[in-house]
Chains A and B, each alone.
Chain A
Amino acid sequence: MESELAKLLLFTVGGLANAAYLFIVAAGLSLVFGALRVINMAHGSLYMIAAFVTVVIANQLGAGLGFWAGLLVAVAVTGAIGAVIEVLVLRRVYGREHLVQLLGTYAVSLVVAGAVRIVFGANYRTVASPIPGNIYVGTYSYADYSLFMIAAAIVIAAGVWAMLYRTNLGRNIRAAVSDPDLLNATGVNVTRLYTTVFVIGAALAGLGGSIVAPSQAIASSIDTDVLVLAFAISVIGGLGSIVGSAVGSLIVGLVVSFGILIPATSPYSLAFVFIIMAAVLIIRPRGLFGLPEN
């Protein structure tokens, strides 16, 4: 009995840790969609770049301090790449059909995927956890790092909330979300606002990639893996809503974790995510907390 409870706890912590990094990534995707009305197909690529940068720097400088340095560099690098993508690509496709935007950012993701394989190679890479140690519950244990991931996601959530509701920038972003045309008329520098939002979104993708690095093997396929999960979260929670991202991440994180727990369903745990995604879209096409299109 006690071991059943411990198992439940273990899978809950695992699910929450999943939800944590997915939230950070999905929040960036959702923020960009809300303000720019662009689905960024290269979001997973930014995540992947950050994961590799973190792993390389942490392994060079040694786990612990090296990881934190890697995290900072990775976030800076992805933010900078985000700025480049926004200026060179997105600026030319705002206001065009969403097909053009999907294809444009998809092209960027292809370029990044090729570049990452050239620079970092196609092999799996791992990095030691900066917070080693495990907590034991009966015969089961979970890593301290899981708790750090959960805490980090809560801090990020609070930070994003404060940014949106307590700063000028946040006010403008919210205005852009609810009525882009009106914002144009009020004299806000929309061009700069869009760049800023995209950089923040890219940095969040990077942060997610950095934070996930010690908990997973990093390979050059993680870009599409995380992108499709971030899509699922955004669709379940609703594109453009941070609260939606949080709820969606919890659902997806826990479903993946508990899907594995039950042997009969374990091969289907990912399918469950997409069945839920489809069910939400069918019942409520804009997602639980999402914006209506247009």
Chain B
Amino acid sequence: MRWGVVLVLLLFAALIPPLAGLDENLNPDASSRFQIFLGTSALVLALWAISYNLMLGYTGMVSFAHAAYYGVGAYAVALVFKRYHLPILVGLAAAPFAAAAVGFITGLVAQRAVRLYFSLLTLAISQVLFSIAFTWYDVTGGDNGISITLPDQLSDYTTLYYFTAAVVGVCLILMFILVRSPFGAALLSIRENRQRAAAIGINVKVYELAVYTIAATFAGVAGGLFIFYQQQAYPEMLYWTANAQPVVVALLGGTTTFLGPAIGAFIYVVLDNSISKQFPYQFDIILGAIVLGVVLAVPGGISDIPSVFLRLRERFHRGEEAEAAPEESAGDAIRMFDVRKALASDAIQAEEVHSGQTLLKIDHLSRSFGGLRAVEDVSLEVKQGDRHAIIGPNGAGKSTLFNLITGQLKPSSGKVIFDGRDITGKPPHVIARTGIGRAFQITTIFPKLTVRQNLQYAMLAHRGYMVRPFGIANRKFSGEAQELAEAVGLGTLTELPAGQLSHGDQRAIEIAISLALGSKLVLLDEPTAGMSAYETDKAMELVRRLATERHLTLLFCEHDMSVVFSTARTVTVMYQGRVLTAGTPEQIRRNPDVQKVYLGELEQEELGA
């Protein structure tokens, strides 16, 4: 089905010149040259928009500087060809390198910020590059830009069309290989959840810089091709508002499919030439209305319209069919969890146990926010194979301590030693790779990816595959991911988007991700928060059995005292950022200080009940 669409698109692209000729024969007013010219511009626009979508759709980055790299590509061709009198194809070969170099350097700058501030930083970069093109008269020709005349071999419209189609085709194939490779999987992970991506060991910033540079490279090719049919490079190509074109095109066609923006480009060019010639101002309004409609009603763009119809139809049929379709999971994962199967799964790598050895050592760790000392001089040790609970009233510093261990926060002073390595202040992805898995307090998974992909991508990241820009990510570790999912009771749900699962099932995914990462130490931040009593029992049973049979080391914080005392072997009590005391559950239960600050009221409640 998908390949059918691709084939139709290819055939259509190949037939544009003959079709245009036919149209001219049938309809003497039509100019086949102009139609072929439009076809060429649609191809270039498609390449530009798809390169933009590598960031927008696949990684979730909004850049205002993409037009600048397009412009750099055009200027590169113009300069090489006109100033250095080299063949124009040398210029086209230089365009991606020039754009990549500028993209890499400016990307490095833009990386200083994330999300919204990243977008604004790219805006500043774009304006600086525009100013350079606009004012550096000797090189760029200032506001006049640079005009070129094509060599004879390429000046024929049909030849130029097929030449452009070939270059665009090669670029699209390269990008397609990229997006379904493990590298592409890393990008999707980042788009879905930056925090979780880092927690499975992805160096988010490096991947973002890489995709930013790659996108700039292909934009450079597009800009280089632009000058072939427009025969001009001018500074407005770099102005920040020029980014509207690839954004609108990508959005129009759909950001969730690879070829969506290509369809968008074709529609855009047709609309542009049928409407904007006669009604230039109305065209803006129509464009705005389309973007608004897409944003508000069809987030997936035109290529997503079939699924919108499906959703609508589903809504009509909800009444009868709702029960038949397993749209959402019912929290079965915990119930169906089969520890033996989980343990037998190849996905979990065996690790030797040295009981009694210190796995995690926290040494005089402190962190303050302004005047508030959230964690102050905390020292504790977690032994291999231990189940270590941290308890304390709200604001005791438990979550801050966890964030200091896994690198979300950097300590003001003190040390964190894990497995003999000093991991103090290391970034989250490095710490994840040393073998600390974490289930966050708010469930942190990749919601739009399937359950299977959630586990597969964790395995890819853990085993160092994500740097690969080739191969098919979804085929790697598919079996192992299925096994692991079955083992945690999610076997029937592997093809559902993880975000559709029930709360309990999502927590099971998080634990399974930790298993897929082969973590030696698993941090659980309030593992039973938001669960029913039944779910809590089952979840903790799973955790306990896993810990026992796999010799996993657990460090968890929890408010539910029955969970703490039934699971923990060691308990550390924190109070106002400090360690109050530590010991066995029995010692803690009897400690009068603990009762005073924390347990007292709970015990009394229990007695009263």
A43 interface contact, C-beta 8 A? no
Interface string of A248-283 (1 = CB under 8 A from B): 000000000000000000011011011101100110
Q: CB within 8 A of A235: which of B117, B286, B287?
A: B117
Interface string of A204-240 (1 = CB under 8 A from B): 0000000000000000000010001001101100010
B240 and A228 contacting across the interface, CB-CB below 8 Å: yes
Q: CB within 8 A of A268: which of B112, B114, B135?
A: B135
Q: CB within 8 A of B117: which of A117, A267, A270, A285?
A: A285
A103 and B131 contacting across the interface, CB-CB below 8 Å: no
Cβ contacts under 8 Å, A89 to chain B: 292, 296
When A271-B135, A281-B117 are in contact, do A110 and B127 touch as well, CB less than 8 Å? Answer: no
> Which of B118-126, B330-338, B393-401, B552-560 forms part of the interface with chain A?
B118-126
CA distance A282 to B281 in the complex (A): 38
Cβ contacts under 8 Å, A109 to chain B: 288
B127 and A282 contacting across the interface, CB-CB below 8 Å: no
When A39-B116, A109-B288 are in contact, do A235 and B124 touch as well, CB less than 8 Å? Answer: yes
A9 interface contact, C-beta 8 A? no
Interface string of A93-110 (1 = CB under 8 A from B): 100011110111011111
CA distance A3 to B484 in the complex (A): 81
B109 and A282 contacting across the interface, CB-CB below 8 Å: yes
CA distance A231 to B56 in the complex (A): 21
Within 8 A of B (CB), among A103-140: 103-104, 106-115, 117-118
Closest 8 CB pairs of A and B: A110-B288, A114-B284, A271-B131, A111-B288, A114-B285, A107-B291, A107-B292, A117-B281
A281 and B131 contacting across the interface, CB-CB below 8 Å: no
CA distance A239 to B115 in the complex (A): 14
Cβ contacts under 8 Å, A114 to chain B: 281-286, 288
CA distance A110 to B289 in the complex (A): 8
B580 interface contact, C-beta 8 A? no
A2 interface contact, C-beta 8 A? no
A110 and B116 contacting across the interface, CB-CB below 8 Å: no
B492 interface contact, C-beta 8 A? no
B260 interface contact, C-beta 8 A? no
B284 and A111 contacting across the interface, CB-CB below 8 Å: yes
CB distance from B208 to the nearest CB of A (A): 15
Cβ contacts under 8 Å, B461 to chain A: none
Cβ contacts under 8 Å, B241 to chain A: 224
B62 interface contact, C-beta 8 A? yes
CB distance from A113 to the nearest CB of B (A): 5
A92 interface contact, C-beta 8 A? yes
Query: Nearest chain-A residue to B191 (Cβ)?
Result: A97
What are 16 pairs between A and B in contact, CB < 8 Å? A39-B116, A89-B292, A89-B296, A102-B62, A104-B292, A107-B290, A110-B284, A110-B285, A114-B281, A114-B283, A224-B241, A267-B134, A270-B131, A271-B127, A271-B128, A278-B121
Cβ contacts under 8 Å, A235 to chain B: 117, 120-121, 124
Interface string of B268-310 (1 = CB under 8 A from A): 0000000000001111111111111001100100000000000
**How many chain-A residues does the 8 Å CB contact rule pick out?**
44
Cβ contacts under 8 Å, A118 to chain B: 281-282, 285
Q: Which residues of B contact A (CB under 8 A)?
A: 56, 60, 62, 109, 112-117, 119-121, 123-125, 127-128, 131-132, 134-135, 240-241, 244, 247, 251, 280-292, 295-296, 299
Cβ contacts under 8 Å, B119 to chain A: 98, 102
CA distance A281 to B115 in the complex (A): 13
Interface SS of chain A: helix, strand, loop or mixed?
helix
B288 and A281 contacting across the interface, CB-CB below 8 Å: no
CA distance A110 to B131 in the complex (A): 24
Beyond contacts A228-B127, A235-B124: 12 other A-B pairs, Cβ-Cβ < 8 A, are A89-B292, A100-B299, A102-B119, A103-B295, A107-B292, A113-B288, A224-B240, A271-B135, A274-B124, A274-B125, A285-B112, A285-B117
A281 and B284 contacting across the interface, CB-CB below 8 Å: no
CB distance from A234 to the nearest CB of B (A): 8
Query: Nearest chain-B residue to A281 (Cβ)?
Result: B121
B292 and A111 contacting across the interface, CB-CB below 8 Å: yes
When A107-B291, A107-B292, A108-B292 are in contact, do A293 and B285 touch as well, CB less than 8 Å? Answer: no
Query: Nearest chain-A residue to B132 (Cβ)?
Result: A271
Cβ contacts under 8 Å, B289 to chain A: 107, 111
CA distance A239 to B284 in the complex (A): 29
CB distance from A39 to the nearest CB of B (A): 7
B114 and A293 contacting across the interface, CB-CB below 8 Å: yes
When A114-B284, A114-B285, A115-B285 are in contact, do A278 and B56 touch as well, CB less than 8 Å? Answer: no
Query: Nearest chain-B residue to A221 (Cβ)?
Result: B241
Query: Nearest chain-B residue to A98 (Cβ)?
Result: B116
CB distance from A291 to the nearest CB of B (A): 11
Cβ contacts under 8 Å, B134 to chain A: 267
B115 and A285 contacting across the interface, CB-CB below 8 Å: no
Query: Nearest chain-A residue to B239 (Cβ)?
Result: A224
CB distance from B251 to the nearest CB of A (A): 7
CB distance from B271 to the nearest CB of A (A): 13
Cβ contacts under 8 Å, A93 to chain B: 295-296
Query: Nearest chain-A residue to B120 (Cβ)?
Result: A235
Cβ contacts under 8 Å, A277 to chain B: 120, 124
When A99-B62, A117-B284, A118-B282 are in contact, do A281 and B124 touch as well, CB less than 8 Å? Answer: yes
B115 and A103 contacting across the interface, CB-CB below 8 Å: no
Query: Nearest chain-A residue to B106 (Cβ)?
Result: A278
Cβ contacts under 8 Å, B247 to chain A: 103, 106
CB distance from A140 to the nearest CB of B (A): 26
Cβ contacts under 8 Å, B240 to chain A: 224, 228
Cβ contacts under 8 Å, B124 to chain A: 232, 235, 274-275, 277-278, 281
CB distance from B296 to the nearest CB of A (A): 5
CA distance A270 to B235 in the complex (A): 14
When A114-B283, A293-B115 are in contact, do A107 and B295 touch as well, CB less than 8 Å? Answer: yes
Query: Nearest chain-A residue to B287 (Cβ)?
Result: A110
CA distance A52 to B244 in the complex (A): 24
Interface string of A69-105 (1 = CB under 8 A from B): 0000000000000000000010011000111101110
Cβ contacts under 8 Å, B128 to chain A: 271, 274-275, 278
A104 and B281 contacting across the interface, CB-CB below 8 Å: no
Q: CB within 8 A of B116: which of A104, A232, A274, A293?
A: A293
Cβ contacts under 8 Å, B244 to chain A: 106, 110
CA distance A273 to B132 in the complex (A): 13
CB distance from B198 to the nearest CB of A (A): 16
CA distance A223 to B295 in the complex (A): 22
Which of the listed residues B116, B134, B299 has the most CB atoms from chain A within 10 Å of its own CB? B116
Interface string of A157-198 (1 = CB under 8 A from B): 000000000000000000000000000000000000000000
A228 and B123 contacting across the interface, CB-CB below 8 Å: yes
CA distance A99 to B241 in the complex (A): 16
Cβ contacts under 8 Å, B292 to chain A: 89, 104, 107-108, 111
CA distance A274 to B121 in the complex (A): 9
CA distance A117 to B131 in the complex (A): 26
CB distance from B245 to the nearest CB of A (A): 12
Which of the listed residues A93, A103, A113 has the most CB atoms from chain B within 10 Å of its own CB? A103
Cβ contacts under 8 Å, A102 to chain B: 62, 119
B117 and A286 contacting across the interface, CB-CB below 8 Å: yes
CA distance A273 to B62 in the complex (A): 22
CA distance A98 to B287 in the complex (A): 20
